[in-house]
Amino acid sequence: MKVKLLNVLTVCVVTLAVLSPGLVVFGVIWGRHIEFVKTQNLSCEFSNNVKGNNALSPQAQGTNTSQYQTNTKLSNRPFLRQMQIDTEQYQLATIMQWLFLFTPICIGLGIIGYDRYLVYRAAVLKEQVEMLERLWQHSIEQ
């Protein structure tokens, strides 16, 4: 039973190791695509807000430019904040991708290592038992 489980886990780890570069590349490209789409949506929303603010406030030419600059500065704050939030989400998604990638590998390696440790301990125990049997046989003969 343990041998079959070990073989299945070994096949899973090897398959994951073979497919993981493709999955990582796909995840990075997909994340950048989502980021690009969000950036496009935010820039369209930003340009619509600036056009809407200029159309709603007809004033003299001299004060219109200063109000346009003020509106641009005020409108940039939410845009920059949204960009910061998107960057944080992207970083979190990257960390989660690496976590999901390395967790099964570490579990598989841990199981394999523990199995090897059990084999080592059994060999040491067998040597100790053999040594004690020889000592016992030697003490009986005397």
pLDDT tens per residue, range 76-105 = 667 777 777 777 777 887 788 788 778 878
What confidence score (pLDDT) does residue 51 get? 58
Q: Given a cut of 60, is residue 34 above it in pLDDT?
A: yes
C-alpha 139/C-alpha 142 separation (Å) is 5
pTM over 0.95: no
Residue pLDDT, tens place only, 16-33: 777 777 777 777 788 788
Q: Given a cut of 70, is residue 50 above it in pLDDT?
A: no
Average pLDDT, rounded, for the chain: 76
Most confident of 5-9, 56-60, 131-135: 131-135
What confidence score (pLDDT) does residue 78 get? 73
φ, ψ of residue 123 in degrees (nearest 5): -65, -40
Q: 60-79 burial, b if ≥16 CB within 10 A, otherwise e?
A: eeeeeeeeeeebeeebeeee
Q: Given a cut of 80, is residue 131 above it in pLDDT?
A: yes
- Return the percentage of the chain with pLDDT > 70, whole number: 74
* Sole residue written with tokens 């038992």: 129
What confidence score (pLDDT) does residue 101 get? 78
